């Protein structure tokens, strides 16, 4: 009986084990599905975190390529237009451009040309510098900083000339000789060269913080130059409004026309290139830790990237303004297009004047007879 009872207990135990085996097997087979759901949930959570970590102002590779192509297109147009200005002033077929403010305009067009060429090469680095040569990057960065600094400084000197011509018309003609203007332009080129070399310190085994500090200081110099331009142009504008000397004097009318052109040039600079450098300077200060870090730096960097084509527009729009505002430059361009037309116009005017004088003399003779 005891053996039978033990056998009965053993049978019950075996039956219980057999009944539990499917449940254990089902649990073991369902564990991979559980792991899959857990891993899928984890991957979804990681994707959500990465998508949420990517902010709206961050540029994608496609956006960067669009900005790059737009910048290179604007820079290419600026190269062609500034080349036309330089060729027109250097050749000067009508002999009316190699004097006075046109020396400064020649230097300004040269600085804008360097800026456009450097911008074209700098933002086209992915196409032209696939091997990532440091010498290429250093040269292009130097050219960009050098050209932009020279453009700001020469436009400031242009504003100083116009202020002196407007405020002191007699004394300025003796002070602002061609030799002195050329000497000041050379000094400004040398100073712009120093500013250009200051921005390639990163290639001289210097810390990154030093590079950011030097770049921010260089932009500060350009800001001071722009403030000087604004102050001088405001005074020139008030002087133009007050004075009425250009009513019968064509020479004063020319000076006033050039003064208005310089004021428009400063406005173009203020609304195109200046905001780009302001945002870039704030970006440098954020990276240095003066204005906070994190999302602000990324937002400012993206904003400065998007504003690059508008900034390059400043260096390509100046020749268009010369053609619209300055009649001497328009006449020179017409002389390149067709010299015969310009000469024929001048000869026709002379013939009209001679015919008028002859008719007047005939009438006088008839009256005397």
Residue 293 is predicted with a pLDDT of: 59
Query: Per the domain annotation, does 288 fall within a domain?
Result: yes
Q: With a cut of 70, list the residues of the chain below it in pLDDT.
A: 1-59, 202-209, 244-252, 287, 289-298, 339-369
Residue 132 is predicted with a pLDDT of: 72
Residue 152 is predicted with a pLDDT of: 94
Residue 213 is predicted with a pLDDT of: 78
| Three-class HEC string of 90-145 | HHCCCCCCCCCHHHHHHHHHHHHHHHHHHHHHHHCHHHHCCCCCHHHHHHHHHHHH
Query: Per the domain annotation, does 359 fall within a domain?
Result: no
Q: CA-to-CA distance for 354 and 350, rounded, in angstroms? A: 6
Name the pTM for this structure: 0.73
- Secondary structure (DSSP) of 262-278: HHHHHHHHHHTHHHHHH
Query: Per the domain annotation, does 182 fall within a domain?
Result: yes
Residue 307 is predicted with a pLDDT of: 81
Query: Per the domain annotation, does 101 fall within a domain?
Result: yes
Please state the domain count of the chain.
1
- In 3-state terms, what secondary structure has residue 338? coil
Place of tokens 């902010």: 55
Query: Per the domain annotation, does 321 fall within a domain?
Result: yes
Residue 311 is predicted with a pLDDT of: 87
What CATH number does the domain containing 194 carry? 1.20.1070.10
Handedness of CA 258, 261, 267, 269 (dihedral sign): negative
Q: Which pLDDT tens digit goes with each residue over 312-337?
A: 998 988 898 888 888 888 888 888 87
Residue 238 is predicted with a pLDDT of: 85
Residue 75 is predicted with a pLDDT of: 94
Residue 250 is predicted with a pLDDT of: 65
Query: Per the domain annotation, does 5 fall within a domain?
Result: no
Residue 339 is predicted with a pLDDT of: 55
> How far, CA to CA in Å, does 163 sit from each of 54, 160, 270, 291?
51, 5, 19, 38
Residue 291 is predicted with a pLDDT of: 59
Q: CA-to-CA distance for 43 and 321, rounded, in angstroms? A: 58
Domain range enclosing 147? 58-337
Closest to 120 in 3D by CA, of 69, 167, 49: 69
Query: Per the domain annotation, does 19 fall within a domain?
Result: no
Query: Per the domain annotation, does 52 fall within a domain?
Result: no
- Per the structure block, which two tokens stand in for 356? 């008028």
């Amino acid at each position: 009986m005891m053996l039978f009872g033990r056998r009965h207990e053993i049978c019950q135990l075996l039956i219980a084990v057999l009944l539990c085996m499917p449940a254990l097997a089902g649990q073991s087979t369902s564990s991979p599905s559980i792991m899959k759901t857990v891993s899928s949930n984890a991957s979804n959570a990681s994707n959500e975190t990465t998508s949420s970590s990517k902010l709206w102002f961050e540029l994608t590779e496609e956006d960067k390529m669009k900005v790059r192509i737009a910048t290179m297109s604007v820079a290419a147009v600026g190269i062609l237009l500034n080349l036309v200005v330089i060729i027109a002033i250097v050749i000067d077929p009508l002999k009316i451009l190699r004097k006075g403010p046109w020396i400064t305009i020649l230097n300004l067009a040269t600085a804008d040309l360097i800026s456009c060429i450097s911008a074209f090469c700098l933002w086209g680095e992915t196409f032209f510098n696939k091997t990532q040569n440091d010498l290429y990057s250093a040269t292009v960065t130097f050219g960009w900083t050098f050209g932009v600094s020279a453009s700001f400084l020469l436009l400031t000197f242009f504003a100083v000339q116009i202020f002196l011509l407007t405020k002191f018309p007699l004394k300025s003609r003796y002070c602002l000789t061609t030799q002195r203007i050329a000497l000041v332009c050379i000094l400004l080129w040398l100073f712009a060269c120093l500013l250009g070399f200051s921005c390639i310190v990163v290639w001289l085994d210097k810390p990154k913080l030093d590079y950011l500090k030097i770049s921010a200081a260089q932009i500060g110099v350009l800001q001071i130059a722009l403030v000087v331009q604004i102050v001088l142009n405001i005074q020139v504008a008030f002087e133009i409004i007050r004075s009425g000397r250009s009513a019968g004097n064509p020479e004063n009318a020319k000076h006033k026309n050039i003064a208005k052109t310089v004021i428009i040039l400063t406005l173009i600079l203020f609304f195109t290139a200046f905001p780009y450098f302001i945002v870039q300077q704030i970006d440098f200060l954020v990276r240095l830790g003066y204005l906070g870090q994190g999302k602000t730096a990324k937002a400012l960097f993206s904003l400065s990237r998007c504003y690059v084509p508008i900034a390059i527009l400043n260096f390509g729009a100046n020749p268009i303004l010369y053609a619209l505002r300055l009649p001497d430059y328009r006449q020179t361009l017409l002389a390149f297009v067709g010299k015969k037309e310009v000469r024929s116009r001048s000869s026709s005017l002379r013939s009209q004047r001679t015919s008028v004088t002859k008719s007047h003399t005939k009438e006088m003779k008839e009256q005397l007879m």
